[in-house]
Amino acid sequence: METTTTRAIVVDCLQYSKPSRERFLEWKHGRVGCVHVTLAVWETARETLSVIGQWNDLFAENGDLVALARTAAEIRTVVASGRTAVVFGFQNTAPFEDDIRLVKVFHDLGVRIAQLTYNTQNSIAAGCWEDEDAGLSTHVGRQFVKELNDVGMLIDLSHCSERTCLDTIEASREPVAVTHANPLEFVGADVELNRRPKSSLVLRELAARGGVVGLSPYVRMLKNGMQTTEREFVDMISWTVDTLGVEHVALGTDFYTGYGIEAVKWWRMGRWARESPVPIDEAKPVVEWPTWFESPTAFPTLVETMRASGFKDADLDKVLGGNWLRLFDQIFDKPTA
């Protein structure tokens, strides 16, 4: 079915698929203008440098489809050329290795988004899996928040604990983001990944400071799991817009594909455990996605469902990418020393 177009630059503020030309073609066919990709979770600085090197090869081999963007202005330039802009990010501060000077080093290499912690406690902050929520570290954490602000790197709280989120929103002099999580009040505490959704308190504080939340069709964070319909997902977008204001709601699909079970084990336990604290069913597919979002090629249909549900063009443009670009303008494009 032929769909109408939107003026928006579609920004997906979190995907972690194994990068390949096939994935890049999906972005093109889905008219995705910008994707925030994950370089590292538990990787060391040296390992992360190798990942950046691999991406550099991909850019050279697929320059007709993708290009690295370091600023919001570069995102717009890449999109105008008919390609998808790639924004580098970390889902943990592990690559910094508690060396505050590495923040600028990785910023110089193009990294623009950093999540403070991935599920667990580190020296900077507590993750959402922790039973004892220590929040943002008084010394290490606050120093890193200041450094991330100073260099122009967006702070991500998606896998952080409740107190870490609230502490960081307060400590940061710049707006922060939840690039990929859903509202707890809407999806309920019975979702499979019930520590990942964000409370209304966190989301309201985030919005009050100018931040943005990216909503995800990942079935383990949806109210009805695999049975969630596209219209129900759009209902969640509408609910979040009504709750926070349209300027603070966007998309971060958390879409991933192309990996085997070993990658899932790495994400769940890194080197720090022999068994995952979150059960892994090796008999099931590595990942399941709803039939209406089996790849990023589904974005145009999602846009039509949003329009059919009552979204006007101006609000569509904000949710699909305008809100991320506004935040990127503020964080990425400021002059640095």
Are the C-beta atoms of 36 and 179 separated by less than 8 Å? yes
Residue 322 per-residue DSSP state: I
Give me the phi and psi of 178, to 5 degrees please.
-115, 100
Cα-trace Rg, the chain: 18
Q: Which amino acid appears at position 8 of this protein? A: A
Residue 131 is predicted with a pLDDT of 96
Of residues 164, 309, 169, 325, the one with CA closest to residue 242: 309
Are the C-beta atoms of 97 and 45 separated by less than 8 Å? yes
pLDDT along the chain (337 residues), means of 10: 62 97 98 98 98 98 98 97 98 98 98 98 98 97 98 98 98 98 98 96 98 97 96 98 98 95 92 89 81 97 97 97 98 72
Of residues 197, 195, 187, 257, the one with CA closest to residue 224: 187
Are the C-beta atoms of 33 and 75 separated by less than 8 Å? yes
Q: Which domains does the chain have, with CATH numbers?
A: 11-332 (3.20.20.140)
Specify the pTM.
0.96
| CA–CA separation, 30 and 47 (whole Å) | 31
* CA angle at 94 for the pair 105 and 212, rounded to the nearest 5°: 80
